[in-house]
Every structure is written in C-alpha cells, then in structure tokens.
Amino acid sequence: MSHYIYVLYSLKNHALFKGYTCDLGVGFLGKNTSKALSSGIFKPLVLIYLEKFQQKKDALARQQFLQSFEGELKLRNFLVRQGIINPSGQLNLAFNRN
C-alpha cells in the first residue's frame, strides 16, 4: 500500500495545508467537499505538491516535519524555486511542468 503526503493551497487566503493519506480520493480530494474546520473555511483548495512513500511511518514523519517551522520554510522555498508559488506565497498561475 502506498502512503502520501500532500500540500494543498487555499485560493481564498493563500495558506498551505499539509496532510497525509493512503487514499487519494478521501485525502486531499475530500478536503474540498468536507466541512472540516481545519480546511473548510479556506476552500477552494488546489493540490500543489504530492510525495509518495512505501512506509506509513516515513510519510507521517515527513508530514510532521513539513508542519514544523523549519519544514514550512523549506517547503515554501522549494515551491518558490519550482515556480509553483511566488516569493509572496501566491500561486503562480503560469506554472507549467512541461
């Protein structure tokens, strides 16, 4: 079974939400339809990053790191370098991986 950590971007307030799932449909796709307090008021959400792991413990450790202050900074810097978000934290609408 594969395990995933994902990063969702709020189009409403430009916040990043990091999560874990082993079911992609229930994980980040479910966040856009749920009324969860942690993400419901920030909809719509867009998937901007995904990592796959074989071991649940590795995925959970990565998620915990990304939710730390240091992890958040490294994630934001990575997303800026990849052109996914701009330095002010807004989604780069011209982003294209091709």
Query: Which sign, positive or negative, has the C-alpha torsion 88, 81, 84, 6?
Result: negative
Give how many domains the chain has, as a whole number.
1
Mean pLDDT of 41-56: 89
Give me 95's structure tokens. Answer: 């982003």
* Cα maximum dimension of the chain: 37
- CATH number at 49 reads 3.40.1440.10
| Residue 90 falls inside a structural domain | no
Asked, as a colleague might, if the bond just before 44 is cis with ω within 30 of 0, I would say yes
Share of the chain above pLDDT 90, in %: 55
Confidence of residue 92 (pLDDT cuts 50, 70, 90): confident
Helix axes 56-66, 69-81, angle to 10 degrees: 90
Q: Write down the pTM of the prediction.
A: 0.80
| pLDDT averaged over every residue in the chain | 84
pLDDT computed for residue 37 by the predictor: 43
